[in-house]
Amino acid sequence: MSVWTDKASTLLVDGEPAPGSGGRFDTANPATEEVLGTAANATAADMDRAIGAARRAFDETEWSRDLDLRVHCLEQLSRSLREHADELRELTIAEVGAPRFLTHGAQLDAPIADVAHFAGIAAGYEWTHDLGVAEPMGMPSRRWTRREAVGVVGAITPWNFPHQINLAKLGPALAAGNTVVLKPAPDTPWCAAAVGEILLNETDIPPGVVNIVTSDDHALGAQLSSDDRVDLVSFTGSTATGRAVMAAGAPGIKRTFLELGGKSAFVVLDDADLGAACGLAAFTVCTHAGQGCALTTRLLVPRAHYDEAVALTAKALRGVGVGDPDDPGTVCGPLISARQRDRVESYLALAEEEGGEFACGGGRAERDRGFFVEPTLITGLSNESRVAREEIFGPVLVILPHDGDDDAVRIANDSPYGLSGAVHGQDLERARGVAARIRTGTVGINGGVWYGADAPFGGYKQSGIGREMGVAGFEEYLETKLIAEPA
């Protein structure tokens, strides 16, 4: 693998490495602010070629019909990525600022294994289903359904968990028989280019089936989401961009799969172990500096225990602190960029304007370099405040009082988002009842972890449309055809 050593990542277009007609752009280490090197910078013409290659590979090759080849290629890809896991790990820590401990899970090792899981789903899938004989309008007919690939998939991804999100789109899309154009985020081009290089050199995936187009120009995402040759856009990112992707696809009635933002609630019921719950809430919001769409960022505690919960949570947040992502003990590394740090700081200023106070944190961490923000707990705001309603994407927790289970459910659901949540309480039936009333795609009870290759993940309301991972995630990339013959 050469990306990491010679710092010369390329595009992958039609089975060839390509330089990028727009020259090169820098990729940097968010923990040190040092430029790591450069990535190939695609233009609209490169994107056009990539879409054309994916279209031809779908229309003119056997890829979509050759299940054995697809299973073989995805198992190969998972194996090859695993063989390069240590290089990819160092690259990911450097380019994403991902804490090392997370690369042993959702930032790297888990998504690599998940590629093989999707091969397994495809291998065991019931591609045809016999509906039997019926006599519509007196004409006996045997009918069956056939599941087929949708066609060309445009995959557009963010920077926060690049391998997880890139591979959670590539794996099921390819397993289902589609061809793909992947446009990763401008902040993390190397993570995608490295996967492209391994895929090109070490797998039998045919030319044009996977194309990877790195660029510092967001307009290439817009181009991919509006091109008529693309059948399905699979997008992960902010709700604002998701709205643009949906609008861009509307004239062509393009299938659009969206994984968007969140403002998830961590509900502590009055029979919960308050210390344990507040400790977990603090740890969660600090993970990868709060740069996770499904992290719980509103902590709802019983009003009678509000002050105690503030003290416990602030203490836990101070205990986590920030650290070098390279250090295995670090939970809260840097934000991805100066732009993202500015955005988080603007929300901290807004919190004060709205009447909030900081029980801990509230500004930049004292470090010489890197885009670090202190773990922060905001008190004194209501759920109507912008800080409690909008996604901040930093290690920032808003603590809100509730007046019992019904009120907690009301506050949790009073959000434009519906991505995830948590419920803590000793009476399990009661906690389950609250979880059932929370309108989100995932809920963890008492620390239960919902993440997994077989576990569908996605959002209600403005957090998205569709599910990623699991059989449901695989089926997002399939069409259903019904065939009927005289019986």
> Which residues here bind ligand NAD, judged by CB under 6 A?
156-160, 165, 183, 185-186, 218, 221-222, 225, 236-238, 241, 244-245, 259-262, 293, 391, 393, 419, 459, 464
Of 17, 68, 361, which Cα lies nearest the Cα of 193? 17
DSSP string of 50-83, one letter each residue: HHHHHHHHHHHSSTTT-HHHHHHHHHHHHHHHHH
Q: Are strands 396-402 and 296-302 parallel, antiparallel or unpaired?
A: parallel
Q: By Cβ distance, which residue is nearest to ligand NAD?
A: 221
Cα separation, 31 vs 373, whole angstroms = 11
CA contacts within 13 A on the Cβ side of 279: 8
Q: What b/e readout covers 414-426, taking b as 16+ CB neighbours within 10 angstroms?
A: ebebbbbbbbbbe
- Rounded to a whole number of angstroms, the minimum distance from the CB of residue 61 to ligand NAD is 27
State the burial class of residue 328 (Cβ atoms within 10 Å of its Cβ: 0-12, 13-18, 19+).
exposed
Q: Which is nearer to ligand NAD, 84 or 467 (CB)?
A: 467
CA contacts within 13 A on the Cβ side of 137: 1
Q: Which helix (H) or strand (E) holds 38?
A: strand 35-40
Q: Which is nearer to ligand NAD, 261 or 425 (CB)?
A: 261
Alpha helices in 105-157 (DSSP H): 109-123
Cα separation, 299 vs 400, whole angstroms = 6
Angle at 29 between CA 28 and CA 31, to 5 degrees: 145
- Rounded to a whole number of angstroms, the minimum distance from the CB of residue 200 to ligand NAD is 21
Angle at 460 between CA 455 and CA 466, to 5 degrees: 55
Q: Which is nearer to ligand NAD, 248 or 322 (CB)?
A: 248
Q: What b/e readout covers 54-71, taking b as 16+ CB neighbours within 10 angstroms?
A: bbbbbeebebbeebebbb
* CB atoms closer than 10 angstroms to residue 247: 13
Answer for the pair 419, 456: CB distance below 8 angstroms, yes or no. no
Answer for the pair 129, 144: CB distance below 8 angstroms, yes or no. yes
CA distances from 59 to 54, 228, 235, 317, 443 (A): 9, 14, 23, 54, 41
Q: Tokens 């949906």 — which residue?
A: 246
Residues 6 or more apart from 126 whose CB is under 8 A from it? none
User: How close are the terminal C-alpha atoms of the chain, in Å?
Assistant: 57
Cα separation, 341 vs 388, whole angstroms = 18
- Rounded to a whole number of angstroms, the minimum distance from the CB of residue 180 to ligand NAD is 14
Q: Phi first, then psi: give them for residue 377, nearest 5 degrees.
A: -115, 125
- Rounded to a whole number of angstroms, the minimum distance from the CB of residue 444 to ligand NAD is 16
Report, as residue numbers or ranges, the catalytic residues: 259
Answer for the pair 344, 373: CB distance below 8 angstroms, yes or no. yes
Write the Ramachandran bin of 424: left for phi over 0, alpha for psi from -120 to 50, otherwise beta.
beta
Question: Residue 22: what residue type?
Answer: G
